[in-house]
Structure 1
Amino acid sequence: MQNIRNIAIIAHVDHGKTTLVDKILHSCAIFRDNQETGDLILDNNDLERERGITIVSKNVSVRYKDVKINIIDTPGHADFGGEVERVLKMADGVLLLCDAFEGAMPQTRFVTQKALALGLKPIVVVNKVDKENCRPEEVYEQIFELFFNLDATEEQLDFPVIYGSSKQGWMSTDYKVKTDDIFPLMDAILENIPPAPISEGTLQMQITSLDYSSFVGRIAIGRVARGVIKENQPVSLVKRDGKIQKSRIKELYTFEGLGKVKVQEVKSGDICAVVGIEGFEIGDTIADFENPEQLEVIHIDEPTMNMLFTINNSPFFGKEGKFVTSQRLRERLYKEMEKNLALKVVETDSPDSYLVYGRGILHLSVLIETMRREGYELQVGQPQVIVKEIDGRKNEPIETLIVDVPGEVAGKVIELVTQRKGELLIMEPKGDLQHLEFEIPSRGIIGLRNNVLTATAGEAIMAHRFKSYEPWKGTIPGRSNGVLVSMEKGSTTAYSIDKLQDRGRFFVDPGVDVYEGQIMGEHIRDNDLVVNLVKGKALTNMRASGTDDNTRIAPAIKFSLEEAMEYIQADEYIEVTPASMRLRKIYLTENERKINAKKFQS
C-alpha cells in the first residue's frame, strides 16, 4: 500500500462542496501566508462564478500527515451527472456532503447511487450545522435510510459521520462540540478511506477527464489502474470500440496543490495527466504496448432532451459575432462532444442545423452561454423531450420533483404541478416549510419554475431528477398567452410602447433596434398579435399646451437564457449573439406564418 488517498466530494447542488475544498486547501497550507485567494477557488471560470455552481469537475491534491490526498470536486446539479459518473472512477472513497437543514435531496440520491454501485467507501459530512432550524440527527437517519434503500453493503452502511460548517471552517465528530479546525475530517479520511492499492502487471489507465493547453494540446487525465506509466514510454491506446492505436508518452504530470508537477513515472493508484497521446477520447484505455488490455468502458446515462441548434439567419446576423457559419457551428459542437460525455450531436436534413441532445435545460444552456461568450452567433429552438417506443407503446421520461414551500402557498404549487400531469406522492412538514414530492413528465417541468416562483413570491425551493421512462401521459397545456410580434424593422419608440401597454407586457425598451417577426412582448390574450413599435408621434408645427401626455412605461421583462428556453413555443427561436438575446418567430412575415401554421399544430 502507498500513502495516497483518492477521494471525490459529492453532494446536491449548493450543499457546500467547493467551500469545503477551499478550507481543506487553506488548512493544509497550500498557499503562502500573504497570498490572495478569494472564495470558491476551484470554481474558476466566469460561468461557474456567476451562477454559483460547479459545472466541470476539478482535481487538486493536498498533503496531510505525509499522506497525499487527491481530491476531486464534482458538480452537484443533475444536468451534469455525466461529469460525476466518469470522475468517480478515479476515487477509492467519497465524502458525501449533506445540508443539515435540507437533508438528502434528489441529486444526493443520484450521486450516492453511482458511488455505492462502484463499491466506494463513504464518509458522510453533515454540513451547515450553524444554520437556524437545522436537524443534524434527523438528516443522519435520513442518509442511513437512503443508503439502505440503495442496497449499500454492510461495510458501506457502517459509515463514519462528521458534523460541521465549511463556511466557518470547523468539523467535529459531535455537532454540539465546535472545534477550531477541520482536522477531525482529515483524520477520518486517513482512517476510513482505503489507501490506493498497488496493482502489479502490465499498464492500464483509463482516461476519465481531459485538459487543454495552448502549448501542448490535449492532455489526458486518469488514474493508473495497474502497473507503472513512464515518460517516453511506448503505449497502446485502446479506443472505446476496441480499435488499437500505437502512441508514446511525451510528458507526465501529477497533481500537487492547485497545479501539476512534472514527474518521470507514476505508479498504480495515483492520478496523473499525460501529454503526447493523439486522438484519444474519454473512456479510452492507455495500455501496454505489446499486450494491450482494455478496461471496462464508462457507461453514461442517456440524454433526456434535445434542441435544434442552427445558424443565425435573422436580419441582424453577423453584426455582433465572430463565428456565424454552419461550418464553425459544426466544429464547435463536435469539439464539445469530446469532453462532454452526456452530450450528443445529430446532423439533420439541413446542412445549417444540428439536433443537440443533453441531460436538461441547464446542461444545454451552459453550452449555449459558453459558445456565446466565445463569439458564436446561433439560433436555438424549443427544447423537446426524447420519446422512446417500448413494447409498442409511446414512453416519455418521468422525473421526481421536490418542492419546499411555505404552507400557505402549497395549494397553488400542487395546482400548477397537477395541471402538467404531475402526481402528488408525499406532503409533509419540514421545519417551517411544506415538503412536496411529485412524479411529473419531463415535459411538464419545462416552464414550470417561473410559474411556481411567481405563485410563491420567489420562496419555493425546487429540485428534480430523472426517474425512468413511463407511458405517455397525454397532452400538457403550453404557454397560455400569445405574443406581440413586430410588424416592421426599425427602432422602438416610447410613444408606440406607451400606446400599446394595454395589449400586454413588453420585452424591449424604447430605442432598441428590432426587425419584422421579432417577439416584442406577451399578449394579454391567447393569440399572437402583430404590432408596430417603430411608429413615432405625428408632429405638427402647432404647439398645443397641455395635450401632450407624458409617457409612463412599465419596465421591460428581461429573460435569462433558461427562462427564454422554457418560454418559447415550437414556432419560435431564440437568437443568441455575444451581445444580445432576442426571441423571434421562425417565419418572420405574417404571410409566411399563416402558410406554415399547420406545421406547428400538434
Structure 2
Amino acid sequence: SASLEAPAFVAEASEGKSEQEEGEDGANYVPVATAFTPGRVAELMVYEDGTRRGTSTASAGDIVAVAGLSDICIGDTICAPGSPVALPPPKISPPTVRLTLAASDTALAGREGTLVTRSALGKRLARELDRNLALRVRAVPEGFELAGRGALHLGVLAETFRREGYAFALGPPRVVERRDPDTGARLEPWEDITIEVEDQHVGAVTALLSQRRATMLDMSEAAAGGTTRLRYRAPTRAVLSLRSSLLHCSRGTATMSTELAGHEPWGGDLGAREQGSLVAVAEGQATAYAILGAEARGRLFVRPGDEIFEGQVVGIHQRAGDLGINVCKKKALTNMRAASKEQTVVLAEPIAVNLEYALEYIAEDELVEVTPKNVRIRKNPAFGKNKNK
C-alpha cells in the first residue's frame, strides 16, 4: 500500500499497486508487515484516467484502492491468506531538516484563522502521519517538532495547513545531526547543488557560495547559450537560506536544484545574518507618515493600513543588530495641517513576505506567524527569557 485515504462512505481506503495475480472484491486478505492481521475487503476500486471507480477484480499493474482492512500502514503488503509473502517496503531517506510548530499567541491570534489551538494542530498532524511517510513528529514543550526531507518538504506541509484554515507559528529550520558510530564525530547532512546562471553573474554566484563553505565540483557550459552550469557540495545549513540570496545576486535569472549527498563531518560555523531586523514597538495600524520616516532605517515588509502587533518584524535593518521602531505613529494635526496631506506621500514598495522567504530570513530568535490571510515575522519572546536565565 502506498498511501491512505478516508472517504466519507467508508472508514479508510488503502491505495497501492497490484503486483501479482488478480484480486477480487469481497475476498479475504491479510496485510503483511511484522504481523498477520486477517480481514475482508469491503470495496475494491481502481484508478482510470485520473478518476477512481468501483470494480469487482483488479489485475497486476493496476493502481487500486481497497476499503475494509484495518491497521494498514504505508509500506504494508496486502495478499491472500494462503500465500502471505511481503514485498520489500519502500526505502525512505531519513529526515534532514527540523523545525518547531506551535499555536500562535500574538495579539492578532484568532482573528485570521479558525483552527488555532495546540489540540487542533495535534489532531491534524496525526492525520498527516497516516499518509506522509517521510514526516516525523515529536511533542515538545513549545508545541511540536517536525522533521522532514528538507525545508521544501516542511514548507509545503505548512502551506497546506495554512490553506486549510490553520494559524500557527514556525521556528527557524535546523538540520538533523548525527554522531559517527565509530568515532563519535559530529555529522550533518550535505547536498549536491546544481546551478545554471547567465555568464555575467557567475562571479557573484561563486562569491556567494564560497561564503557558505561550499566546494565547487564542476563548472561547464550549459545547453543554453551564454549560460554556465555550476556544481557544488555544501552543508544543508548553507542551502536553507540560499535561494533568495541566489536570486538577488543573479537578478532572478539563476535556477537551482539540490540532492542529498549524505552525512559528512560538521562543516564549521557559517556565520550569522549580517543585517538585523526592524521590530515594531507599538500595536495598531501602520501609517504612511511613520513608514516614510522608517524607510531611512532599512527595507520594510509592511504598507499603510496593515495590522501591526508589538514585537512584529516589520523590515530589515540596514545595519547589524535589531532596531525598535513605531510604524503606527500618526502625524499630529493642527489648524495648519490636514489629514489628507498624507495622501501625497510616495513610499518605496515593501518586500513581499511569503512562507518561503520568511523561513529563509528568520534568525534563531525569530518566528514565522502563519495565518490563512498573512505571513508575518516576529521576535520569539521565549528566546529572550531563556537567554536571561
Q: Give the structure-1-normalised TM-score.
A: 0.61
Secondary structure class of the residue paired with 1:421: coil
| Contact 2:354–2:375 (CA under 8 A) maintained in structure 1 | no
Q: Give the alignment of 1:429-444 within 5 angstroms.
A: 429-430=221-222, 431-444=225-238
Give the aligned residue type for 2:66. V
Secondary structure class of the residue paired with 1:245: coil
Residue in structure 2 matched with residue 403 of structure 1 by the alignment: 195
Structure 2 residue 115 is the aligned partner of structure 1 residue 326: no
Indicate which of 64, 86, 90 corresponds to 1:272.
64
Give the aligned residue type for 1:341. L
How far does residue 543 in structure 1 lie from its aligned partner after superposition? 5.2
Residue in structure 2 matched with residue 372 of structure 1 by the alignment: 162
Give the aligned residue type for 1:342. A
For structure 1, the residue ranges without an aligned partner over 5 or more in a row are 1-206
CA-to-aligned-CA distance 1:46-95 (integer Å, 9 cap, x gap): xxxxxxxxxxxxxxxxxxxxxxxxxxxxxxxxxxxxxxxxxxxxxxxxxx
Deviates more, 1:289-298 or 1:516-525: 289-298
In structure 1, distance between residues paired with 2:50 and 2:187: 46
How far does residue 578 in structure 1 lie from its aligned partner after superposition? 0.9
Residue in structure 2 matched with residue 355 of structure 1 by the alignment: 145
| Contact 2:102–2:168 (CA under 8 A) maintained in structure 1 | yes
Indicate which of 243, 252, 255 corresponds to 2:35.
243
For structure 2, the residue ranges without an aligned partner over 5 or more in a row are none
Residue in structure 1 matched with residue 207 of structure 2 by the alignment: 415
How far does residue 260 in structure 1 lie from its aligned partner after superposition? 2.8
Q: Give the alignment of 1:109-508 within 5 angstroms.
A: 207-239=1-33, 242-289=34-81, 292-348=84-140, 350=141, 353-390=143-180, 391-430=183-222, 431-508=225-302
Give the aligned residue type for 1:358. G
Give the aligned residue type for 2:361. Y
CA-to-aligned-CA distance 1:144-188 (integer Å, 9 cap, x gap): xxxxxxxxxxxxxxxxxxxxxxxxxxxxxxxxxxxxxxxxxxxxx
Q: Give the alignment of 1:558-577 within 5 angstroms.
A: 558-577=352-371
| Contact 2:214–2:235 (CA under 8 A) maintained in structure 1 | yes
Q: CA RMSD in A?
A: 2.0
Secondary structure class of the residue paired with 1:324: coil
Change (3 A) 1:596 1:255: closer
How far does residue 247 in structure 1 lie from its aligned partner after superposition? 1.4
How many residues align? The count is 383
How far does residue 220 in structure 1 lie from its aligned partner after superposition? 1.4
In structure 2, distance between residues paired with 1:549 and 1:502: 19
Residue in structure 2 matched with residue 22 of structure 1 by the alignment: none
Residue in structure 2 matched with residue 534 of structure 1 by the alignment: 328
Give the aligned residue type for 1:470. E
Residue in structure 2 matched with residue 510 of structure 1 by the alignment: 304
CA-to-aligned-CA distance 1:232-286 (integer Å, 9 cap, x gap): 11222223xx123221101112222232332222234433221222231211121
Give the aligned residue type for 1:356. L
Secondary structure class of the residue paired with 1:573: strand
| Sequence identity (%) | 36
Secondary structure class of the residue paired with 1:225: coil
How far does residue 393 in structure 1 lie from its aligned partner after superposition? 0.5
| Contact 2:47–2:62 (CA under 8 A) maintained in structure 1 | no
Secondary structure class of the residue paired with 1:226: coil
In structure 2, distance between residues paired with 1:229 and 1:461: 46
Change (3 A) 1:295 1:515: same
How far does residue 518 in structure 1 lie from its aligned partner after superposition? 0.6
Deviates more, 1:519-528 or 1:226-235: 226-235
Give the aligned residue type for 1:256. E
In structure 2, distance between residues paired with 1:339 and 1:416: 38
Q: Larger RCO: Structure 1 or Structure 2 (Cα < 8 Å, ≥ 6 residues apart)?
A: 2
How far does residue 549 in structure 1 lie from its aligned partner after superposition? 10
CA-to-aligned-CA distance 1:500-538 (integer Å, 9 cap, x gap): 211111101111111110101010101100111111112
Give the aligned residue type for 2:72. F
Secondary structure class of the residue paired with 2:19: strand
